[in-house]
Every structure is written in C-alpha cells, then in structure tokens.
Amino acid sequence: MKVTIGPAVEAVRLVVKEIHQVARVYSLFDIAQILLDKRDRCTLSIVSDEKRGPVLFRGLKDNSLFVTKEEAVAHFWQSTAVEELYEVEDTETDPPAGNFQVVAKCGLSGEWLGPPNFHAYQTTLRRLHREKFSNMDFDRYASRVKTERGEEAVNAWLETMKVRRRWRVKGSSDEDWTFDRSVVERDFATKHFGEAFKEVRETELPGDVPPANLSIGLLASIRIAGSNTRRHPAMLIPTICRILEAEHLAVFKRQGKLFSGPSRPHPLPEDTKLAERPTKIVEWVDAQEKPKLGDLWKALLPEGSEEAPKEWLVDMFWLLTQGHLLLFSDDTLVLPKRRAQAAPAATKEGAGKKRKRKKKKRKLFKARHASPAKMIRTICRMKPGGVRALRGPAKIWARRLLRAGRIESMVEE
C-alpha cells in the first residue's frame, strides 16, 4: 500500500482568505509547514496495489478503514453505527445461583469474566478478546486473566450479571430479541455488512481520523508517511500550487523560492504618475535598504500617531493588490523593479564579422569488425584528412596503400 499526506482543500482556502484580507505574500514552504502543524489541515490518500495489495474496507458510517473484514466487524460493534442498524437494550435479570468461590478477571480491561467453571465463561472470554484485543494472540491474552477469591469479588461479578444486554434488528418484532451476541454478529456479517462498509482499492481520509478507526498496520504506515512529510514539507508544494491557482491566487518565484500573494509583482512604469500618498510610500520604500511596515508608518505619519489613517491604508492596500508593492509575512516591504535591458547583440561595424564555427570532430573509420577487402576499398576512396586521422590497423593499411599509390586523393597531391 502507498500512503500519501496532502493538504486539505478547506485549510488551504483559509490561507487564501487570509492572503486576500491582509494582502501579504507568503512562502509556499511556510504554508506547507503551517498545514502540517495540525492533523485536521491534511488529508490521507491510501492506495492499495491491484496485484499485490489487499482489498480495503472503508466505513460508510464513519471515517474508518481496515485491511481485513474481521477488523471491520470488530470496529462496528464498538462504534455508534450499531444503533443505526440494531436496537440495543439493557434489561434487569436475576443473577446466576450457585456456590462460587473463585472469579476470573481480565488483566487488561478489568472486566469480570465469571468463575472458570461457569457455563458462559469461555464464551465471555472469547467475546472480550474478539471485541477489544483481537490484535493479540488468544493464548497470550488468556495468560493475562487473573483470578480472585473471596466474597467481595464474587458479589462484584454477580452485580454485573444483574443487567444483561439484548439485541434485535431495527423494525423487527419483540420475538426477535436475543441475548446471544454471536447471533446478531452473524446476522451483520451475512446480511448488513455492505450497509456499513465498502470494498475499495484507493480512498481518502481526513488527517484527524481517530487511531481506533484504522488497522494497526495501516496506522503504522500513516505515521511513517507523516514523519517523512514533516521532514520534507516541500512535498506538499505541488498540490498547494494547484489549489491556489484554482482559487485564482497568484503564484510566483522570487530568488529561487515560490511565493503566493494577492498579485504577481508588477513594476511601476517610469512614466506613471501616482497620487501624493502612494508616491510617498513608493519613494520611501525605494530609498530604504531593508524597509519594514512599522518603520514606514513612523516615517510618513505625524508623531504620536498610533495607527495609520484609513486613507493611507486604502492606498497601501491598492499598491499591494496591484503587485506594485510586496508585503511579506515578516513585515518586509519590497518594491518590484524592471530588469535592465540587455546590450544590443551586434553593432553595424561588427555585423560583417564572421563568427568562428566550432570544428566538428571527424568520425574515425572503425575497422575493428570490417573485413580487409572492405577496409582497403574504403581507405582508397578517403580524402587526405580522413587518411591522416586513421588509427590502429587502418593506419597500417593506409601506409601500405600510400606507398603502392592506391589512394587516389593522395596520389593527386
């Protein structure tokens, strides 16, 4: 199975709303870290291989997922989904009569199991193991059972036996009530399992799914994937980009990093004339080396002003939403500028000069697998430059043919 951690769409939309309201620029890496801080801001994508992976059982009543049908059934009886299919009722009955000296008790949950010689002891023991400790081997679980002697232990068990639970399918008659839970478990597994679970190969779960709603092996895989994603938050950036673009939010690169803001950087043209307040803001930011938002208001507003007036905030918001000014999450202000134009490629005086062409490497004649007759014919037809570039056995044959006057181009020379 493959488990992937991704950002929740609703959580990213909250970030989009924040960016639109405050008109700030956020790093996508920082957004990924913010989403990973809480589980409910992420989603879990689980895919089982069609050839080797198991079929998964997805809960239709809750966000549960299990690898085996037995785990799904055990979870169903521990969840609130039971009340949607079955009626459960506790009734008072007379406790069992008899002389009991020893009472068994579950060493893990503390529930009373009854005397070891009681007729329902084995049924109760296996039921408790199936419901709460199915991940443990039965013999190992049975070894954790404790026995207690005394009247107090026996009376405590008898008190639990005064109340018995019975079940029936919703809408059935009074005659269908049963105290035997195995009967309703068999009814659910054969008739109503499809109403509570669905077989899937791939599914998505919210990141805050309770651990009790997952198989133990699946929970371990999710924890490993979560740990790996927290070490490398950049894994979420491609998905975050797609969600931001779908929400019509600008994504741009600056100094090798991806950012998102209300608008892409749009440098002001040189001939642009702004109003008095926007002009002061732009000129002040342009004159500073590392301008900050707080320093801007201190420099432009009168002394004693605690907050910027509304008209100044409106002009600042307009500059930010148009991309003429960038306000980062750490209150740093950046004034986008146009790139300097590159020098002309060539002048009129140098237009007539020819560019030096790179010399192509001549392909050497490969005579390793050629027959001697074919090699001799090829060498006899070669040009002088190709003959001089020969190596190995071909060079030896070239010398012999040259002395014999067989190379046509060399004879003419």
Whole-number percent of the chain with pLDDT over 90: 27
On whether both 88 and 12 belong to a single domain, the answer is: no
CB atoms within 10 A of CB 291: 20
Residue 156 domain flag: yes
Looking from the CA of 26 toward its CB, the CA atoms found within 13 Å total 23
Mean pLDDT of all residues belonging to the chain = 84
Same domain, yes or no: 154 and 88: yes
Q: Is a pLDDT exceeding 60 seen at residue 346?
A: no
Residues 147 and 99 in one domain: yes
For residues 93, 96, 101 and 104, what is the CA-based torsion angle, rounded to 10 degrees? -70
The whole domain housing 277 covers 266-334
Does residue 29 lie within any of the structural domains? yes
Q: Report the range of poorest mean pLDDT among 61-65, 93-97, 126-130, 390-394.
A: 93-97
Q: Within this chain, do residues 234 and 277 fall inside the same structural domain, yes or no?
A: no
**Cα(323)–Cα(332) distance, integer angstroms:** 14
| 277 domain-assigned | yes
Nearest to 160 by CA among 105, 87, 79, 83: 105
pLDDT-wise least confident of 42-46, 174-178, 334-338, 365-369: 365-369
Nearest by Cα to 41 from 208, 287, 230, 238:
208
Q: At 293, which CATH number?
A: 1.10.10
Same domain, 50 and 138: no
Single residue among 280, 307, 334 that ends a domain in this structure: 334
Q: Residue 29's closest CA among 328, 318, 370, 304?
A: 328
210 class by beta-carbon count within 10 Å (0-12 exposed, 13-18 middle, 19+ buried): exposed
pLDDT tens digits for range 279-321: 999 999 989 888 998 888 888 888 877 788 899 999 999 999 9
Structure tokens at 48: 């089982």
Across 326-341, average pLDDT: 83
Verify that 79 and 178 share a domain, yes or no.
yes
Say whether both 75 and 51 belong to one domain: no
Which of 151, 156, 161 is CA-nearest to residue 97?
161
Secondary structure class of 385 (helix, strand, coil): helix
Residue 309 to residue 207: CA distance in whole angstroms: 43
pLDDT at 341: 58
| 149 sits in which H/E element | strand 146-149
CB atoms within 10 A of CB 169: 15
Three-state SS at 67: coil
**Dist. CA 402–CA 313, nearest whole Å:** 90
Hey, is 333 helix, strand or coil? strand
Q: Are residues 127 and 205 in the same domain?
A: no
What integer pLDDT is reported at residue 357 of this predicted model?
A: 64
Structural domain contains residue 353: no
- CA pseudo-torsion sign 372, 378, 380, 382: negative
Angle between helices 393-403 and 372-380 (to 10 degrees): 60
pLDDT (0 to 100) of residue 404 = 83
Last-in-domain residue among 139, 154, 184: 184
Asked if 222 contacts 71 with a C-beta cutoff of 8 angstroms, the reply is no
Buried b (16+ CB within 10 A) or exposed e, 92-107: eeeeeeeebeebbbbe
pLDDT tens column, 371-386: 788 888 888 888 888 8
Is 362 among the domain residues?
no
Residues 118 and 149 in one domain: yes
Rounded to whole angstroms, the Cα distance separating 315 from 275 reads 9
CA dist., res. 53 & res. 100, Å (int): 51
**Same-domain check for residues 154 and 226:** no
Judge if 303 and 399 occupy the same domain. Answer: no
d(CA 222, CA 244): 26
* pLDDT at site 366: 52
In a domain, 357, yes or no: no
Please give the pLDDT value at position 259: 92
Dihedral of alpha carbons 227, 5, 16, 335, sign: positive
- Across 252-260, average pLDDT: 90
Establish if 163 belongs to a structural domain: yes
Confidence of residue 367 (pLDDT cuts 50, 70, 90): very low
Determine how β-strand 112-114 pairs with β-strand 102-105: antiparallel
Spell out the residues 6+ positions from residue 225 whose beta carbon is closer than 8 angstroms to its own.
Answer: 3, 4, 5, 44
- pLDDT for 401: 85
Confidence at residue 239, expressed as pLDDT on a 0 to 100 scale: 92
Residue 218 forms part of a structural domain = yes
CB 207 within 8 A of CB 42: yes
Q: Mind giving me the DSSP string for 210-235? A: -GGGB-HHHHHHHHHHHHHHHH-GGG
Domain boundary among 312, 334, 356: 334
Report how many domains make up the chain.
Answer: 4
Q: Is the pTM of this model over 0.85?
A: no
Is residue 242 domain-shared with residue 172, that is, in the same domain? no
